[in-house]
Each structure stands twice: as structure tokens, then as C-alpha cells.
């Protein structure tokens, strides 16, 4: 398999990992991609053009899916933060001590 075909194969693996939410697989795939990129020649032969285009297409799809995954995660974190704030406010009105101690990272409070 040519180094250009390896880029396509890695692109497919990465896209599948991203769309399946297998975020932990991405570090290993990235390490493998770095090895393949290091093996690329200074210029690509004309017969590699189709593989390079496909690798670029897959990379764009993966980047879009990653962007959406980050947006979804940020939304979920905001939702969890809002829920926690609401629950803490409710608990404060019950007279029950908070189960979560306050932690300060700046030495105050």
C-alpha cells in the first residue's frame, strides 16, 4: 500500500472514530498519521492525486464532526452547570448543608 493510500485509510479510521464518538482513539490515530506524513515524499506523483483528494475530503468531514462534537459537549456542560446551580439553590433553601465543599484555587475563600 502506498503512503498516499495509507493517508486515506487513516482518514477513514479517524472519521469513523469521530462519528462513533471514540475520542480516545484519536491520539493513537494522530500518532500514526504523523509517521505517515513523515514518510511522504517532497512532491507527490500524479497518480497520488486521487488519494490526496480523498484524504483531504475525509479530513474535512472529520474536522466538521469534531467541531460539532465540541459544540455538543459545550452545550452539555452548560446544561449540567445550570442544573447544578439550580439544585444548589434549591438545597440552600432546605437548610441542609452542601455536600460539596467550596474549593478556592486562588487562596481566597
Q: pLDDT for 12-49, tens place per residue?
A: 999 999 999 898 999 999 999 999 999 999 999 999 99
Domain limits at 62? 3-68
**Residue 24 CB partners (closer than 8 Å, separation 6+):** none
Question: At which residue does the C-alpha cell 487513516 appear?
Answer: 10
In a domain, 92, yes or no: no
In a domain, 24, yes or no: yes
**pLDDT tier at 72, thresholds 50, 70, 90:** confident
In a domain, 21, yes or no: yes
Number of domains composing the chain = 1
Amino acid at each position: 500500500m502506498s503512503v498516499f493510500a495509507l493517508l486515506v485509510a487513516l482518514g477513514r479510521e479517524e472519521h469513523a472514530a469521530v462519528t462513533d464518538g471514540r475520542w480516545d482513539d484519536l491520539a493513537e490515530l494522530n500518532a500514526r498519521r504523523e509517521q505517515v506524513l513523515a514518510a511522504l515524499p517532497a512532491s507527490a506523483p500524479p497518480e497520488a492525486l486521487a488519494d490526496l483528494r480523498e484524504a483531504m475530503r475525509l479530513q474535512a468531514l472529520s474536522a466538521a464532526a469534531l467541531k460539532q462534537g465540541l459544540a455538543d459537549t459545550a452545550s452539555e456542560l452548560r446544561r449540567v452547570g445550570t442544573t447544578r446551580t439550580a439544585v444548589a439553590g434549591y438545597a440552600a433553601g432546605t437548610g441542609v448543608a452542601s455536600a460539596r465543599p467550596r474549593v478556592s484555587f486562588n487562596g481566597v475563600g
